[in-house]
C-alpha cells in the first residue's frame, strides 16, 4: 500500500541545510517503481506506515550490531511534507528547499522523520530514504557520535546494501559522504 501525506518539509539556503548537519537521503535519482498507492491527507497515521517501519527496523537489526528494540517498540514519528514549506526541526524552524535532492531528514532531538513529497511506499528509492532515517534513529538511540554528520557513512552504506538487495544501484557520491561523515569543519563542497 502506498502512502502520501500533505505536510511541509526541509529547505532553505544550502548553508542552513549544512548547518543542520544532515544532508540526508539525497539519492532521489535511484531507480524507482511506479506510484500506484493511496493518497492520504492530514496528520500521519502511524498504523499506515507501522508495518513498513517495523520491517525496515527489523532489517537494520538483522544487518547491524545495534539493539533495535526501542525503535521497534516506540518508533519515531514520520511526517510527509512538501518542498518550500517550513517545518519544526530540532526546536527551530527551517524551510525545505524547492531545489536539490534532499529526500528526508531525521530530527534526533525530537525523534521525528520528515520525508519530502512526492513519497510513496511503493517506490523503492522512497522506502530507502525512510530506511536511512530509521538507521539514524537506531544509531542515535544506541551511542554518541563525534559530530552530527558522523553517522552518515554507516547509514549510507546500509542504505546502499538495502538498495542492492532490491536490485537498485545507489549512485551515491561516496567522496561527498566520506567528507560529510568525517566531522571536518570546512570541506568546501
DSSP structure string for 105-164: EEETTTTEEEEESS--TT-HHHHHHHHHHHHHHHHHHH---SSTTTTHHHHHHHHHHHHH
Cell of 153: 557513512
pLDDT score at 21:
33
- At 6 the pLDDT is 28
Question: How far is the C-alpha of 12 from the C-alpha of 32, rounded, in Å?
Answer: 26
Q: Can you tell me whether residue 78 is helix, strand or coil?
A: strand
Instruction: Report pLDDT for 121.
Output: 87
- The answer to whether 49 and 83 are in contact (CB under 8 A) is no
pLDDT number for residue 160: 96
Query: For residues 134 and 140, what is the distance between their CA atoms, to the nearest angstrom?
Result: 10
Please list the ranges in the chain whose pLDDT falls under 70.
Answer: 1-48, 185-189
Q: What is the pLDDT of residue 47?
A: 61
Instruction: Say what the pTM is.
Output: 0.73
Per-residue pLDDT at 106: 92
Reduce the DSSP state of residue 25 to 3 states and report it: coil
Which pLDDT belongs to residue 16?
31
CA distances from 71 to 36, 77, 140, 147 (A): 28, 11, 10, 22
107: number of Cβ within 10 Å: 24
Name the CA radius of gyration of the chain, rounded.
15
Q: Alpha-carbon distance 66 to 33, whole Å?
A: 30
Retrieve residue 178's grid coordinates: 566520506
d(CA 21, CA 40): 30
Q: pLDDT at position 115, please?
A: 92
Amino acid at each position: 500500500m502506498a502512502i502520501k501525506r500533505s505536510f511541509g518539509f526541509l529547505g532553505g539556503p544550502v548553508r542552513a541545510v549544512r548547518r543542520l548537519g544532515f544532508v540526508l537521503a539525497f539519492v532521489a535519482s535511484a531507480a524507482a517503481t511506479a506510484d500506484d498507492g493511496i493518497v492520504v491527507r492530514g496528520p500521519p497515521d502511524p498504523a499506515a506506515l507501522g508495518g513498513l517501519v517495523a520491517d525496515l527496523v527489523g532489517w537494520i537489526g538483522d544487518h547491524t550490531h545495534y539493539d533495535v528494540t526501542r525503535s521497534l517498540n516506540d518508533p519515531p514519528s514520520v511526517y510527509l511534507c512538501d518542498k518550500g514549506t517550513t517545518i519544526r526541526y530540532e526546536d527551530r524552524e527551517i524551510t525545505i528547499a524547492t531545489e536539490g535532492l534532499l529526500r528526508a531528514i531525521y530530527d534526533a532531538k525530537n525523534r521525528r522523520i520528515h520525508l519530502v513529497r512526492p513519497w510513496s511506499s511503493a517506490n523503492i528509492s522512497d522506502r530507502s530514504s525512510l530506511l536511512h532515517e530509521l538507521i539514524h534513529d537506531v544509531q542515535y538511540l544506541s551511542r554518541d557520535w563525534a559530530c552530527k554528520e558522523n553517522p552518515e557513512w554507516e547509514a549510507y552504506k546500509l542504505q546502499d546494501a538495502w538498495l542492492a538487495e532490491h536490485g537498485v544501484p545507489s549512485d551515491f557520491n561516496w567522496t561527498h559522504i566520506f567528507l560529510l561523515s568525517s566531522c571536518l569543519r570546512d570541506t568546501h563542497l
